[in-house]
Amino acid sequence: MNLIIDVGNSFVKLAVFSGIELIDKRVVLLKDIEKEIEVLKNVYVSLENAIVSAVGKLEKKVIKAISKSVKVFVLDSNTRMPFKNLYATPKTLGVDRIALVCASISHFPEKNVLIIDAGTCVTYDFVNRNNEYLGGAISPGINMRYKALNSFTAKLPLLDKEMPGTIVGNSTETSIHSGVVFGFLNEIEGVIECYKEKYPDLTVILTGGDTKFLSKQLKSSIFANPNFLLEGLNYILQFNSNE
């Protein structure tokens, strides 16, 4: 069994895989990570290997503590990958984006794939049918857009995300919802269309924390998979365990 430790900007996701099957997933605070891993270790006694992917801060002493329970593999830009990285600055490519590319290769081999990860930021990552990663884009996520309107203006309120009923906002609050949500959706649709002009057979994956909120609103044909990154990390761990 494999333990996946995905340290994000806000929370830590812990997942247990038996082979390629996800059998447990938990979202915890960073301060609780060691305690929760001990709980998982007691429940799944055959846990042996773990992979750590950290876009947020994870201290070395925590990794050392985790290593007492399981064999830990830390993902970084030097990790052996099943794709050719053509990014101009490969050392700066986030481990989350690396994992998403690996998941796309695992699920959609020899396909042109655009992965859209809608979380704190929204990232767009493209891998072609030759297993070559070409790059993509990074943009503010939907919650970041709400926060920006509040932080950089004097009077606009901070709102929780909400699907607007109409494009025409008739109050400050509904105007914010319309601008943020429809602007975000139109950005995603526009990026997809730009890629499809060059790659008509494009496969599109939507993942990340806002998958459920966005998936039913997009007009483009997509595969929605909120666990795509976790599956990619599991694939990387298996890929390197077989080295």
Q: How far is CA 205 from CA 51, 193, 218, 225, 243, in A?
A: 23, 14, 12, 7, 28
Question: What φ, ψ does residue 41 adopt, rounded to 5°?
Answer: -60, -35
Is 160 considered catalytic here?
no
- The strand pair at 2-7 and 49-54 is best described as parallel
Give residue for tokens 């666990």: 227
H helix runs in 69-136, sequence order: 95-107
Q: Are 30 and 37 in contact (CB under 8 A)?
A: no
CA 150 to chain centre: 25
Q: Which of 6, 96, 125, 210 is catalytic?
A: 96
Q: Report, as residue numbers or ranges, the catalytic residues.
A: 96
